[in-house]
Amino acid sequence: MSYFVYILECSDNTLYTGIAKDVNKRLNEHNNSKNGAKYTKARRPVKLLHVEECEDRSSACKREYTIKQLSREAKITLYKG
């Protein structure tokens, strides 16, 4: 089953990286639900900037870790192409 790594931009212009099976459902949770991440709850609304499909949860977690190690500028370059 596919997993996705995504980057969100929060209302305070910070970036948040996460993984999900269903990105649209997760985005809705970040914006409207108590199931959103603690970090994004205080920084709503968030908008989706970037999505990458991964083969499985393990590869998604590894990719998420790699992206989280990048500087803000490198993350912006990643999603702007």
Domain that holds residue 33: 3-80
Q: Mean pLDDT throughout 61-79? A: 96
The CATH number of whichever domain residue 63 belongs to comes to 3.40.1440.10
pLDDT at residue 1 is higher than 90 = no
**With contact defined as beta carbons under 8 Å apart, do 10 and 40 qualify?**
yes
Domain count for the chain: 1
Q: What is the mean pLDDT of the chain?
A: 96
pLDDT single digits (tens) 13-48: 999 999 999 999 999 999 999 988 999 999 999 999
HEC assignment per residue over 29-57:
HHHHCCCCCHHHHCCCCCEEEEEEEECCH
Question: Given a cut of 90, is residue 81 above it in pLDDT?
Answer: no
CA atoms of 33 and 69, how far apart (whole Å): 27
d(CA 8, CA 18): 8
Residue 13 is given by DSSP the state S
Query: Strand, coil or helix: what is 38?
Result: helix
Between the two ends of the chain, the Cα-to-Cα distance in Å is: 26
- Number of Cβ within a 10 Å radius of residue 50: 18
